Amino acid sequence: MAYPPWLDPYDAEPFILFSTSHLWAISLIAALIILMFLFRNWLRSLSSNIRRTIRIALACVMFGCEIVLQLWYVYGDVWSLQTSLPLELCSLSLLLSALLLLIRSRLLHSALLFAGIAGALMAVVTPNLGYAYAHFRFIQFFTAHACIILALLYMTWVEQLRPSWRTVVGSMIFVNVAALVVYGVDVLLDANYMFLRHKPDTPSVLDMLGPYPLYILGEEVLALVMFSLMYVLLFAIPERLNNRVKRGKSSAL
């Protein structure tokens, strides 16, 4: 069967780490994050109906990302139990973050915030991806990971589900429970979801964490450090500074 070049699962231009298209993808995602931060107060001022529409639309895009990926697997005759189930950390984060947009659960937000953002950021910087721009898989990959980050930040900055140190704990629990369940599936299916049985074939941060199974322990330490730093740098310090500014204005009045 002859496939269009942008859908071909076999004869596609390979992805090159930090190529021009990769750097453009990183830059675009960074720009979207900055814009959401800058316009967070304006978004927060919108009516509840408009904000609900935004959440539903973003959730539909996120569910759509997974649906079209599964359809592409089937279309390209590459779907398999060993590689195509949505059991990678970012796949789980994508679907659960979409659900979070719809149900606004504080528990789900706590579980996903740091795990989802950290996992998506690492995937964006060092993608486990075999297709270059403008292949469908390239576009779907970066769209899905951008949506994870934007959805979780939207729920934090706009819907004001505030994180705390409990959120760091919640994200660690989520990662470990997910890994335990997925490892059981890996053994059952002879698969390697979440890279729990060996490292990915493409360059990744795991290459710096030692051989199997030591890199899994390294991931635990790295996750705890990243989640803690994200909380302190992105939320705790800015919130403290903001409170000081507000107290200063109140004193001046």
Stretch (H or E) spanning 32 = helix 20-38
Q: Which amino acid is located at 115 in the chain?
A: A
Phi, psi of 145 (to 5 degrees): -70, -35
Distance CA(63)–CA(35), nearest Å, equals: 23
pLDDT of residue 3: 87
Least confident of 90-104, 121-135, 202-216: 202-216
Least confident of 54-63, 167-176, 234-243: 234-243
Among 115, 114, 116, 144, which Cα is nearest to 129's? 144
**pLDDT single digits (tens) 32-91:** 999 999 999 999 999 999 999 999 999 999 999 999 999 999 999 999 999 999 999 999
**pLDDT single digits (tens) 103-124:** 999 999 999 999 999 999 999 9
Contact in structure between 112 and 97 (CB atoms under 8 Å): yes
pLDDT of residue 246: 67
DSSP codes joined into one string, 56-71: HHHHHHHHHHHHHHHH
pLDDT of residue 161: 94
pLDDT of residue 99: 98
Stretch (H or E) spanning 240 = helix 237-252
Whether residue 211 has a cis bond before it, omega within 30° of 0: no
pLDDT of residue 208: 80
pLDDT of residue 178: 97
**pLDDT single digits (tens) 118-163:** 999 999 998 989 999 999 999 999 999 999 999 999 999 999 998 9
**In which residue are the tokens 């814009």 written?**
35
Q: Residues of 195-220 as b/e, b for ≥16 C-beta within 10 angstroms?
A: bbeebeeeebebeebeeeeebbeebe
Asked if the model's pLDDT at residue 101 lies above 90, the reply is yes
Asked if the model's pLDDT at residue 252 lies above 80, the reply is no
**In which residue are the tokens 């939207």 written?**
154
pLDDT of residue 236: 87
Q: Which amino acid is located at 122 in the chain?
A: M
- Quote the pTM value: 0.92
**In which residue are the tokens 């990243």 written?**
226
- Sign of the CA dihedral running 176, 182, 187, 191: negative
Which DSSP letter does residue 3 get?
-
pLDDT of residue 203: 67
